[in-house]
Amino acid sequence: MMQHNPIARHTKILMGDLYSEWLVKRKTPAYAFPVKILIFAAMMIALTLAILTFHVVIFIIAIAIGVGFYLYSASVNLEFEYIYVNGELDIDKIINQAKRKRALTFDMNHLEIIAPEASHYLDSYNNKTCKTFDFSSGDKASTGRYVMYGTVKNEMIKVILEPNDRILNDMRMSSPRKVIL
């Protein structure tokens, strides 16, 4: 059913706890490679000017551009890991396959609805103003995209994600009326 190429992990029941995880790689935007080339070229030009003119300020600018190049390169290489344990969904953002950061923790007791992105069940929520988080692969043509509405810290949020069937079924076990498959 899933069209995208995330890396599946597994579902286990550990000492009565239901545990599922799923990894989704963010699609690299088409503009990322040309931007990397432009930043690298700017760095090389600044470095060449610094060497030719022996100017320290230009050398510092070249180093700053190099740091910007590194940070930009790392920021376009993203993965999202969904971890579902007993009614709680944790979403971790993995940057450049090296740095992990907790992006969201969501308690299923605060779930309004989760449904496929094109579902008519979401029609009444589409006009609500709320903070939106996109933890999907970024492929808008994917049929595995789901939209989740709920509250975190008394604020309504919209979350776009691409869970696998296991996580969806586990979520449905804890909130059967709110999870639309």
pLDDT at 16: 62
Q: Is the dihedral of CA 174, 112, 84, 106 positive or negative?
A: negative
The residue extents of the domains of the chain are 7-28+77-174, 32-75
Q: Which residue has the tokens 């979350």?
A: 159
Longest Cα–Cα distance of the chain, Å, equals 69
Q: Token digits for 167?
A: 């996580």
The tens digit of pLDDT for each residue in 137-165 reads 988 888 899 999 999 988 999 999 999 99
pLDDT at 28: 87
**Partner residues linked to 81 by β-bridges:** 23, 92
pLDDT at 40: 93
pLDDT at 126: 84
Q: Within the chain, which residues score under 70 in pLDDT? A: 1-16
- Note the pTM of the prediction, 2 decimals: 0.78
Classify residue 7 as exposed, middle or buried by CB count within 10 Å of its CB (0-12, 13-18, 19+): exposed
- Distance in angstroms (rounded) separating the CA atoms of residues 85 and 19: 5
Instruction: Look at domain 7-28+77-174 and name its CATH class.
Output: mainly beta
